[in-house]
Structure 1
Amino acid sequence: MPTHTPNDHRTDRTLSPSDGAALEQRITDVGHRLSVSIDILLEAIPGGPRGPMELARTLGIDKVLASRLLKAARARDPLAVAHLAPGPEPLRRVIRAASRLGVDADTIARAGDAVDRFESLIRHDAGDRGGLDAMISAWLPEARDEFELRRKQSAFKAMSHIRGVYADLTLGTVLLHPSAGGERLDIVWLFGMLGLQRMRPGATVKLASRRMDHDESPRRPTTLEGEPIETPEHLRLDAFCSSPLAPLEIHRIGDVVLYTLGGDAFGPRSGVDLVFAEVNRNEIERYVPAGSGRRGHVFAEISTPAKALLFDALLHEDVYAGQSPDLFLYDTAFDGVASVNDRSRDIDRLDLAESVQDLGRGLPAFRTSVVPRYVEMLQLVFDRMGWDDAAFRGHRCRIDYPVYGSQVTMAFTPPSAPGT
């Protein structure tokens, strides 16, 4: 069987690392060579086409490798082939096994050459296989989804151990309604952490509500009943929390309200469901000066590692009428939470394949399987606030393994004040 080394193909690189179009073409060329050579090799194996179990027995390889090889062979897009193909060494095991079964030398040589080019691509253009997958994810949507999910899952595992806490789900639901005076907006936040668990003693858990853009009017957060938020028991929605009830502590720092998990329980049996609501009347301006370009926005902070985020914005029909929000994700590690109206923070945006779903109007449209009794929670809020759910439309961003330390923002374009 002929032998090859990855360095054989180092001289045929004609692109600079920054040349994205040329790099995409190189990956495409390598993927095409790999696809053709795999097809010819599989056809040449005695016994003809077969499924993964039979192929594994014939070649003396494991079923996982055989399945991945066949999946790559079925892909017709060269980028998909480069993404799905087994690594160079597993591919060489397949080639050696095919050679032992009597596959002709030309087919073996062609396959070996394609694998060498694949390895050269990985080593010299991408650095490693993860780097190659990151590159391909820029051009292949399904590769991007898989790439991001795996990395976000790894980040969740790491940060949950470092922080010593995690939640199965973080819930952030915001309701916007015109204030009584008509010039501003009332906001209700429904906060939740389901399956919240400390993994070690002393781990901190916090949620926050804050007003981002400068505003001279005082901020007076209350419960759904209009009482000051000084008493945690009045904020917590006990009917939707686990029993025994999780202790909730409140900390006021200027206009920021921090909510933390009290007590010192930890370990697998310490998991709790915690749900509470906060009301801010006249919280933000409803209109903006004509030509200002300012955006209205609401956001959820990922301050606790979580397996999933459900972020809903429920807007009265007279709030940002006819609009669907733009979605922005920010890295808050350096400069903290971001305002979409601060263009200096554009550099902190995260380029992730997340999206917003328009839900329609009314409570039935807001259902979800990931939050038990979610419609009941919302019904309670609407009833206590005296608002008609049928007048509200919903927008939803659901993220699996949201990045710890990120901010998920929905932005709208407010109208100019009437008469301006």
Structure 2
Amino acid sequence: MKSVTSGHRLADGLDTKIAEVSTSLQSSVRPIVEDLIGTSHRPVTLARRLGIDKTLTGRIMRSVRANDPFEILHNAPAPHGLRIFLKAAADAGVDEDLREKAESSIADFESLIDAFPEGRSALEAAISDYIPEVRKRNERTAKQSVYKSMSYLLGYQAEASLLTTVISPSERSDMVDTTHVDSMIGLRRLRGESPVNLFGIRRHCMLPDATNWIETLGGDRGIDDAHQFLLENYCGKPIPSLRVHDSANVRYSVLDAESLPINEPVTLVNGWTIRNASLRYADDEHTHEWHSSLLRIPTRTRVQDYFVHQDVWPGPPDFVPGMPGLDISTVRTPQSGPQHDRIDMDMPVEHLGLGVHQPGIRHSTAPWYQEMLGHVFESRKLNPNEYRAYRCEIVYPVPFVRMMVWFNLAQKPHEQA
């Protein structure tokens, strides 16, 4: 059999070893399968012939049919399962020479697995980047485990988190305003009595002469009552106790744990506007704008929607997950190439068209979502049909991973330059 190569996707030595083990395993197992069931490709036929589980024979059949060395090893059963197959093949009268060759290949496969400290799971992680469906499945499994463990450790969890941002021209021609609505759907306290920061607002000055401030969706400034930022028509009742906590340049809405009974779900929707929040145009120092968010509550689904006015910030946003690091207030331009502390996770971004009434805007976790968006745009006196909508939806988002969202800045028109 001609050797299959992995195309030097990993270190050369590991690539070569995987190609050798894959070629050997496939070329030794396939003749046994053909001896038993001929050219049939049905796992159930092999299972009946040998009297073994069809899940095991299904993996064997996928492995012998694969064309890529990574896929051969991914689909192959564990060495123990392959030896169950060999024993059944011996009982069925398969030639001893064929079985000895297969046993030698299985031993090589076992040695490759043992070369990784965490065994088969570490080998799967190394090759998963090059098999998209495996990568997605493994990532989802890992994130689901984080969701379960962090829910217990923190004592809170939620069904969904919807973070909506509206980016609109400011009264200052060189700035934009941002409106944010943070919805926590089905929030539950599982254990413990520690308060938790539910919603946070970062304050930062973009230009020396551009004063910015925070206000409610109704336009009220200087508010210290956390409940006045809530959109109460979309919150569950009774609303638990919240208080404001200021920390440096961040203002938090803090949940009083004892006001939320154990295992009683509640939905909270929090909204605010930052005037003169960000730059509108590029200049000699700034080519991009960014937003960051940090999810603190384990949740099954995270949806981040951006509604961007058609006259500002051209092009789709780039969502970049990363580890929280040192002060990022001076970061203005994304680095080219690999970024420090970036986490390699799938971040699908959809362009949903103009406005808030597109069918794709709906979300099953919040049947009232489009109605709420209409209320937000009406409160801000904005025309939703002038706004491009983008969505990034993540299943089992990882808590305390910082999401950086980058936008290109347009050049300032000549008449304003």
TM-score tier after normalising by the smaller chain length:
0.7 to 0.9
Provide the C-alpha distance between the structure 1 equivalents of 2:259 and 2:75, rounded to a whole number of angstroms: 44
Which residue, 177, 201, 217 being the options, matches 1:224?
217
Q: For the Cα contact (< 8 Å) 1:170–1:309, is it kept in 2?
A: yes
Provide the C-alpha distance between the structure 2 equivalents of 1:213 and 1:71, rounded to a whole number of angstroms: 58
| Offset at residue 213 of structure 1 (A) | 6.7
Provide the C-alpha distance between the structure 2 equivalents of 1:336 and 1:24, rounded to a whole number of angstroms: 40
Aligned to 1:299: 292
Provide the C-alpha distance between the structure 1 equivalents of 2:17 and 2:205, rounded to a whole number of angstroms: 47
Aligned to 1:93: 84
Q: For the Cα contact (< 8 Å) 1:201–1:264, is it kept in 2?
A: no
Provide the C-alpha distance between the structure 1 equivalents of 2:67 and 2:195, rounded to a whole number of angstroms: 49
Asked whether 1:117 is paired with 2:112, we answer no
Letter of the 2:127 counterpart: I
- Per-residue CA deviations over 1:226-274 (Å, capped at 9, x if unaligned) read 1234233332122222232333332233431112223415676322111
Provide the C-alpha distance between the structure 1 equivalents of 2:397 and 2:238, rounded to a whole number of angstroms: 28
Q: Which runs of 4+ in 1 moved over 6 A?
A: 336-339, 342-345
Aligned to 1:164: 155
Aligned to 2:383: 388
Provide the C-alpha distance between the structure 1 equivalents of 2:172 and 2:303, rounded to a whole number of angstroms: 31
Distance 1:86 1:340, change over 3 A: farther
Q: For the Cα contact (< 8 Å) 1:179–1:281, is it kept in 2?
A: yes
- Per-residue CA deviations over 1:69-125 (Å, capped at 9, x if unaligned) read 334344332211211222111111111111111111122122222222211111115
Provide the C-alpha distance between the structure 1 equivalents of 2:226 and 2:286, rounded to a whole number of angstroms: 39
Distance 1:64 1:55, change over 3 A: same
Letter of the 2:340 counterpart: I
| Offset at residue 350 of structure 1 (A) | 1.1
Provide the C-alpha distance between the structure 2 equivalents of 1:337 and 1:70, rounded to a whole number of angstroms: 51
| Offset at residue 203 of structure 1 (A) | 3.8
Q: For the Cα contact (< 8 Å) 2:162–2:302, is it kept in 1?
A: yes
Q: For the Cα contact (< 8 Å) 2:166–2:179, is it kept in 1?
A: yes
| Offset at residue 219 of structure 1 (A) | 4.1
Normalised by the size of structure 2, how large is the TM-score?
Answer: 0.87
| Offset at residue 388 of structure 1 (A) | 0.8
SS in 1 for 2:409: coil
Distance 1:404 1:233, change over 3 A: closer
Provide the C-alpha distance between the structure 2 equivalents of 1:250 and 1:161, rounded to a whole number of angstroms: 26
Mapping of residues 39-118 of structure 1, within 5 Å: 39-45=30-36, 49=40, 51-53=42-44, 55-118=46-109
Asked whether 1:367 is paired with 2:362, we answer yes
Asked whether 1:310 is paired with 2:311, we answer no
Structure 1: runs of 5+ lacking an equivalent: 1-17
Aligned to 1:210: 202
SS in 2 for 1:283: strand
Q: For the Cα contact (< 8 Å) 2:83–2:103, is it kept in 1?
A: yes
RMSD over equivalenced CA pairs, Å = 2.8
Letter of the 2:398 counterpart: V
Provide the C-alpha distance between the structure 1 equivalents of 2:281 and 2:362, rounded to a whole number of angstroms: 30
| Offset at residue 215 of structure 1 (A) | 4.8
Identity %: 30
Q: For the Cα contact (< 8 Å) 2:177–2:276, is it kept in 1?
A: yes
Distance 1:339 1:213, change over 3 A: farther
Aligned to 2:247: 253
Aligned to 2:346: 353
Distance 1:209 1:303, change over 3 A: same
Q: For the Cα contact (< 8 Å) 1:337–1:407, is it kept in 2?
A: no
